[in-house]
Amino acid sequence: MIGLVHQDPPVIGSARGRMDRDLAHLSDEGLLSLIAGSDEEALAELYDRFGGVAYGLALRILREDALAQDAVQEAFLAVWRTADRFLAERARASTWVLTIVHRRAVDLVRREELRRGEPLETAPEAAAAESVEETAELGFQRRVVQEALRRLPPEQRQALELGYYGGLTQSELAERLDAPLGTIKSRMFTGLARLRELLAQAGLKESFTN
């Protein structure tokens, strides 16, 4: 059987501000399906979702910024070329993508050691496989929480984001938003209750709401 021949995309970068269509509603698996058909916007959306997590994983292995960036770039090119080989029944898309990142980072370690003629200081390899799984799971959980937050009413979402991510107390929120303290407490209580429901529906039991 003759497979698809992919040409490399001109640039792998963020999709924000340049996409003609909204792909945010698609699952990671749905994006990989589009990428298998040479959809550059789908690749850019996937990069938006996993680029930061992928860089963090590569940096933990390589310990050098430039090499970590190279590993991520090579990994997403590999995703572009091999997306048609992804099988959803075998692995979650996030795990598949980050496993490729891990492999590229390890390849770069070996390449640099040969080039420099000496061992490259890297993170312990023993925890590498577990690190990929944990990183994939954290990335998945983060996106589930972000999607749930987007479904809250704006005033509830704003209060929760400023309170949990911004580190503001309820009194500071009341001052920042020019609203009564009782109103802020009500927004956060109602928002948290709804957020727990949304996360439970998505199968995420543990979160920052606990």
Q: Pick the residue with more confidence: 82 or 149?
A: 82
Q: What is the mean pLDDT of residues 18-27?
A: 74
pLDDT of residue 206: 45
Q: pLDDT at position 205, please?
A: 54
> What is the CA 132 to chain-centroid distance, rounded?
12
| pLDDT given at position 204 | 64
pLDDT tens, residue by residue, 130-155: 456 666 666 666 777 778 888 889 89
Sign of CA dihedral 22, 28, 34, 35: positive
Per-residue model confidence as pLDDT tens digits over 152-210: 898 988 888 887 666 677 888 888 888 888 888 888 878 888 888 887 777 765 444 44
pLDDT in tens, 28-71: 999 999 999 989 899 988 998 888 888 888 888 888 888 888 89
Structural domains of the chain in order of their starting residue, each with its CATH number: 24-117 (1.10.1740.10), 135-210 (1.10.10.10)
- The answer to pTM > 0.75 is no
The pLDDT score that the predictor gives to residue 64 is: 86
pLDDT score recorded for residue 13:
56
Q: Assign residue 2 a region: left if phi > 0, alpha if psi is -120 to 50, beta otherwise? A: beta
